Amino acid sequence: MSYILLSVLLLPTIAVPLVYLVGRKSAKWAAILLALISLVSLGLILTTVHAILGPDHRYMETYTWIPVLNSQFALFVDGISISMAIITMVLMLAAALYSINYMQGKKNLEIFYALLTLLLVGLVGVFITSNLLFFYFCWELMLVPAFFIVGNWGYRDSYKASFKFFVFTHAGAVFVLLGIGAIYMTTHSIDLFQAERLLLTQSPDIVRWILLALTAGFAVKMAIFPVHLWLPDAYSESPAPMSALLGGVLTSAGAYAIIRISMETVFPVVMGTQFGTDFLHGLAIFGVISAFFGSFIALAETDLKRIISYSSISHMGYILFGVSLFYTSAGALIQVAVAGTVLHIVTHGLSKGLFFLSAGSLMNSLSLRNIRDMGGIAGKMPITGTASATAAFSIGGAPPFACFISEFFIFMGAFQMIPLDGFYIWPTALMLVATVLSLGYSLRFMSNVFLGPSKLGEIKKKSLEVPRFMLLAMIILTVFVIIIGIYPSLFMNLINTVTFL
């Protein structure tokens, strides 16, 4: 047996104290070490691509763990989980490099980088395990370093924002734990794939409560309206590298969990029933509400980071709407909706990470947050301006950037669904309107910040551009956003290997 996935999990785990010790000598080298760990982990996990594209469409490792619970320590990747792992490694790589200049001069950076490494452990564990107990451990583990990073190195009222983040997401985790406990009580298994088979023998009356509990808990992490209240403060008050990870990966973990556990493992039991149809319609409704709510607030906001934060709520609405299209009322799978939704998690994650890094660069150079106080910066920050435009137009759904193609596939799924379920006429029409609103706040952002006359007074410097490591991080993500928009098959070939039925 090869130990690829175990190595991917153990490498950052073992590295936590090492990063801390290196950070005590040099914060820069601690950041570089974390970047190298992310790069090596990315290289290791890419070696499983051939197995995913092969006949089994999955790569798995199993180890003996807790016999009394009939539990194995199982690690796996398929087209969905490897896509999530890839964007996690890429964003952590970019965040680590960016932080070298951005966090320079801050105190206790050895702890900051050790916490980022611990966060990587939790994220990777969520995406590559099929053991529900270990999944929950990693789900909660993500919360601990995020709480301290936001609190210690954030901006205004940082601990208030991190406390709100902790309370909301921990409350959501209670529902997740109840759902996992109910799965074990009914199937006597905590393995994702065994539970998927065994749940089919259970009464739908029991399973529907499991489905509701899990989905509600995961929706809190996604920050779906009305359980979104933690997100704007946590995102806007975090340091830029953490904002990129929060916006790019942590909320995406909630979307991944809904797809992997709620929809793939639990939902097939109630599929084809009236409850199953109502559940999917409910997801669509909350998706539409979240998309409009986030877009309207983003159109009204003037704080640089809060605009981007509310756009995250909007795009989580896109993803939830896409999830509602997975199955028809008769139980048939709409594969293009699955592919588009998973791809949108990837494209949104990379675009939002780039957007937050760009915002951090603006704040670093200008010491401003209000977009009304900016203007005419494009010539002074050309690389940051290019990165910001790439992120903004991608989030706005403009071609040929990454989010356009994933939104296109989601709407293809919706158009396939409408003849089969007339309910989706109005949600689809409203989501099309939401795409116009997304482009609206993206154009407003670019116009106020980079175009028009400067409102900064006399600028003596020829350039306000940020230092090289911050530029390198933004360039890496910019390249990814453009390439995926032009050639989405990089991920689509992997995602299309996954079939739920």
| Secondary structure string (H, E, C) spanning 59-89 | EEEEEEEEHHHCEEEEEEECHHHHHHHHHHH
Q: Taking phi first (over 0 means left), then psi (-120 to 50 degrees means alpha), and beta for anything else, what does residue 77 get? A: beta
Question: Do 82 and 494 meet the contact criterion of CB atoms below 8 Å apart?
Answer: yes
- By the 10 Å C-beta count (0-12 exposed, 13-18 middle, 19+ buried), 54 is classed as exposed
Task: Measure CA 37 to chain center.
Answer: 20
The answer to whether position 221 is within a domain reads: no
Q: Using omega within 30 degrees of 0 as the cis cutoff, is the peptide bond preceding 67 cis? A: no
Tally of structural domains, the chain: 1
CA distance 393 to 402: 9
The answer to whether position 126 is within a domain reads: no
The answer to whether position 7 is within a domain reads: no
The answer to whether position 327 is within a domain reads: yes
Strand ranges, E, within 287-392? none
pLDDT tens series, the chain, 501 aa: 579 999 999 999 999 999 999 999 999 999 999 999 999 999 999 999 999 998 889 999 988 887 766 678 899 999 999 999 999 999 999 999 999 999 998 889 999 999 999 999 999 999 999 999 999 999 999 999 999 999 899 887 888 888 999 999 989 999 999 999 999 999 988 888 888 888 888 888 899 999 999 999 999 999 999 999 899 999 989 999 999 999 999 999 999 999 999 999 999 999 888 999 999 999 999 999 999 999 999 999 999 999 999 999 999 999 999 999 998 887 788 999 999 999 999 999 999 999 999 999 999 988 888 888 888 888 889 999 999 999 999 999 999 999 999 999 999 999 999 999 999 999 999 999 999 999 999 999 999 999 877 776 655 456 788 999 999 999 999 999 999 999 999 899 999 998 775
Q: Taking phi first (over 0 means left), then psi (-120 to 50 degrees means alpha), and beta for anything else, what does residue 131 get? A: beta
The answer to whether position 392 is within a domain reads: yes
Q: So what's the pLDDT on residue 73? A: 87
**Tokens in use for 19?**
């990063």
The answer to whether position 349 is within a domain reads: yes
The answer to whether position 222 is within a domain reads: no
Task: Measure CA 165 to chain center.
Answer: 16
The H-or-E segment that residue 92 falls in is: helix 79-102
The answer to whether position 462 is within a domain reads: yes
What's the per-residue H, E or C state across 194-225?
HHHHHHHHCCHHHHHHHHHHHHHHHHHHHCCC
**Tokens in use for 470?**
């911050």
Q: Structural domain of residue 287, as residue ranges? A: 280-501
Intra-chain end-to-end CA distance of the chain, in Å: 28
